[in-house]
Structure 1
Amino acid sequence: MSVAEAGLALADPTAYADDDRLHRALDLLRREAPVRWVTPPGYHPFWAVTRHADVREVERRGDVFLSAPRPMLAPARTVAPGTGGGKKELLRPLAHLDDPEHRVMRAVTASRFTPQAVAALRPRIRDLARRAVDRMARRQGEVCEFVSEVADVYALDVLLVLLGLDDAEAATVGRFTPAARRSMAPEQRTAAMREFYTYFLALTADRRAHPRDDLASVIANARVEGRLLDDHEVLSQFVIILMAGHDTASVTVAGGLRALIENPGQLSALRDGAARLPDAVEEMIRWVTPVKAFMRTAREDHTVGGVLIRAGEAVLLSYPSANRDESVFPDPHRFDVCRTPNRQLAFGYGVHHCLGASLARLEIEEFFAELLPRLVSATLAGAPVQLTTTFSGGLKFFPVRCVLKG
């Protein structure tokens, strides 16, 4: 593989479904061209930033590197340079915003993601984790497609609790999650988004009339400069809750279990107490890195890794690469549940650090805290399949055969 080919891999969705190919490309870029100009066919060009320190530098300088107009890598036909697209972007989740708007909109839900607020959710999430593992136990020794039958359902259950919805809403809300939308044809996705608008605007109206102690009520009744959020702002808040709140936990739980099955010594270290579960959770997050890349655009000339980025040029922040950087993680391609310190960047850094990071950690930790004491054996029951993506993803098919106590 040449350096040029390695750079092109960052804009190839199939590369993210092939760990060996992806990490050969990223290793080569970090070693030989850590800030590399890439001109992939069908995309506007960008600087690929692959070292941990350089990704942190770009994230740290939110005043220089902006999310607008190109927060995510997308084909050129959908993102015109300097515009964000041919149409007005109706929904603008937090990840798409810059300060001061980002700071204002982040504050809308921040109270629900403080350490105290997240800790208060632990008993409910523990119950949901037990329910998920019970679901596995009922399939005792049978083949279980872990992503759709366990991980996605568990992550959705947590979202329902957060939003103040009951199990009867699971089928409806589940249609709006990234996992569900990926399996839809384009016309189905369009219909699902229309249904999303209708459902969450109705939920907002209900919570304004009858507020409760839940996140849906917080969003519905939030005020900015004395006014309630408009429809687009409300829907943008719900979009980021569904996008980040579902995928991060689901793909890390699935990827974490796969890593433990494929590294039985690491599983043993956790089960016999030689490793701490919080450290293992951090390693699972590093290993899976659910979000693959974000884009930033320089508002002024700035040097990154010794390379001058000109005003108006785009950069791609490669989180899987930063999380396997040899200068930060000894033996980075080894899954190590005892790894500490673990300076993984899967949740971003600086002003765009993931608001729900503490909640995601809690979800993952509670799932494995429930699973590991009951797990007698776990084996692959077929070849795992990863999503093709350039933004967010992990396993989409993961057949396992587990034997559990109780």
Structure 2
Amino acid sequence: MPTESAEQPPLINLVDPELYAKGDPFVQWRWLRAHQPVYWHEPTEYPGFWVLTRYDDIRTAYRDAAGFSSAQGILLRPESHGADPGGGRTLALTDAPRHRQLRGLIDGWFSVRSARAMEQDVQDVVRRVVDDALERGACDFVTDVAARVPLYVICKMMGIPDADWEKLFLLTSDAFGAGDPLTRRLAHLDILGYFEALQADKAKNPADDLVSVLATASVDGERLSPDDVILNCDNLLVGGSENTRIATAGGMLAFLRHPDQWEILSERPDLLPSGVEEVLRWTSTATHIMRTATREVEIDGRRIAAGDRVTFWLPSANRDESVFQDPDRFDVRRQPNRHLALGFGEHFCVGSVLARVEMRLLYGELLSRSIRVTLDDEPTLLSSIVVNGPERLPVRMTAS
């Protein structure tokens, strides 16, 4: 997203999807950080909510999981949509102690040790995807490269048969990328239907995979219900692929716009880990995260009532001038880089280590093989208040 300065107070409207596709939200966030870091956003089709834009305020609220609940939903929803059906049931939409219990079931699959053990599998997926893209020559980096790597990896971890990976790829592309709401809804229903059948099979014939873990798990002495298993599988598929897809593609767009940074990595591949951290900070693909206050709390002199919705605007936090030196500069050598792109506290992204491995290996593959990536047309940005980044990134990929 572009960044321009704002001398006069801008019109604050953070729930306009076109702001993120064609506008400049950083103008609004920069003004809010400077003048109203805790801002009440009046109701629209969405209910009214508090806006936090400063790094320290968001980090403090993340840490207070008891005071800021996830169980009522973690994203703004139009009033007409009602409550989130996953509220209180999925890993992302639960509070302690159930959140810790659900997380404990799968944490080991996403540990540093597990991610290291999976590196060869991830590398194999990366090579397969890159080779296919090279054969095409002209491709959409979002769907043909960035989307396939994390999706194929999480499918493998979930025990989804290889023959179904392409089916899940097409369904997720429609569920989260199609412009038509009906197409998105029908695709999402098909995904839930797929997991309904898969969890039933894994409950009877468990194997060494994530769906089997959930399908046979007990919490407080009770088996997870089939509906809870299905919702958590859906959550894992989305969480394990969507944000990594957009961050990876957004990172490539950043490198295309800042070729000097790609050149630095080509000369210093040891900087890839810090390059990935800068991509995560720069893209901050989760535009907002929501919590519900469980008690009255005061932040920067503003009184938030119990039951109020409170939103954390992560791209703003990760450009906070009080934390990041020259925050509007893309710099793969940035140190330190304590961004909040993957959350913080109890709800820190369970797949954060794996996401970093996937991004590092993909960029590393392109660099080590001297694959040239060039823009083939203008990119299109997502029209969404939930995630931000490229929707389409037409490129040409050629091997040197």
TM-score in terms of structure 1 length? 0.91
Mean alpha-carbon deviation: is it higher for 346-355 or for 101-110?
A: 101-110
Q: Contact 2:155–2:237 (CA<8 Å) still a contact in 1?
A: no
User: C-alpha displacement at 1:272, in angstroms?
Assistant: 0.5
Task: List per-residue Cα deviations over 1:220-272 (Å, max 9, x = no partner).
Answer: 11111233210121012111111111112211111111111111110111000
Match for residue 12 of structure 1?
16
Query: How has the CA–CA distance of structure 1 residues 172 and 89 changed in structure 2, closer, same or farther, with 3 Å as cutoff?
Result: same
Mean alpha-carbon deviation: is it higher for 175-184 or for 287-296?
A: 175-184
Match for residue 294 of structure 2?
299
SS in 1 for 2:39: strand
Match of 2:145 among 143, 146, 150: 150
Match of 2:109 among 104, 108, 112: 112
Aligned-residue sequence identity (percent) comes to 36
Query: How has the CA–CA distance of structure 1 residues 376 and 212 changed in structure 2, closer, same or farther, with 3 Å as cutoff?
Result: closer
User: C-alpha displacement at 1:282, in angstroms?
Assistant: 0.6
Match of 1:309 among 304, 307, 314: 304
Alignment size in residue pairs? 394
Match for residue 328 of structure 1?
323
Match of 1:43 among 31, 43, 46: 46
Match for residue 252 of structure 1?
247
- Distance in 1 (CA, whole Å) between partners of 2:263 and 2:87 is 49
Match for residue 3 of structure 2?
none
Query: How has the CA–CA distance of structure 1 residues 199 and 12 changed in structure 2, closer, same or farther, with 3 Å as cutoff?
Result: same
Task: List per-residue Cα deviations over 1:137-192 (Å, max 9, x = no partner).
Answer: 223xx432111221112222112211122321113322442664431633334433
Report the residue type matching 1:53 in the other structure: D
Match for residue 59 of structure 1?
62
Match for residue 77 of structure 2?
74
- Distance in 2 (CA, whole Å) between partners of 1:40 and 1:198 is 35
Q: Report whether the alignment pairs 1:199 with 2:202.
A: no
Report the residue type matching 2:324 in the other structure: F
TM-score in terms of structure 2 length? 0.93
Match for residue 217 of structure 1?
212
Structure 2 unaligned blocks of 5 or more: 1-5
Query: How has the CA–CA distance of structure 1 residues 236 and 78 changed in structure 2, closer, same or farther, with 3 Å as cutoff?
Result: same
- Distance in 2 (CA, whole Å) between partners of 1:123 and 1:317 is 36
Q: Report whether the alignment pairs 1:242 with 2:237.
A: yes
Q: Contact 1:375–1:402 (CA<8 Å) still a contact in 2?
A: no
Q: Which runs of 4+ in 1 moved over 6 A?
A: none
Match for residue 22 of structure 1?
25
User: C-alpha displacement at 1:213, in angstroms?
Assistant: 1.4
- Distance in 2 (CA, whole Å) between partners of 1:121 and 1:274 is 21
Structure 1 unaligned blocks of 5 or more: none
- Distance in 2 (CA, whole Å) between partners of 1:270 and 1:248 is 23
Q: Report whether the alignment pairs 1:135 with 2:132.
A: yes
User: C-alpha displacement at 1:285, in angstroms?
Assistant: 0.8
Report the residue type matching 1:101 in the other structure: R
- Distance in 1 (CA, whole Å) between partners of 2:132 and 2:273 is 24
Q: Contact 2:150–2:355 (CA<8 Å) still a contact in 1?
A: no
- Distance in 1 (CA, whole Å) between partners of 2:175 and 2:370 is 28
- Distance in 2 (CA, whole Å) between partners of 1:149 and 1:366 is 16
Superposition CA RMSD, Å: 2.0
SS in 2 for 1:62: coil
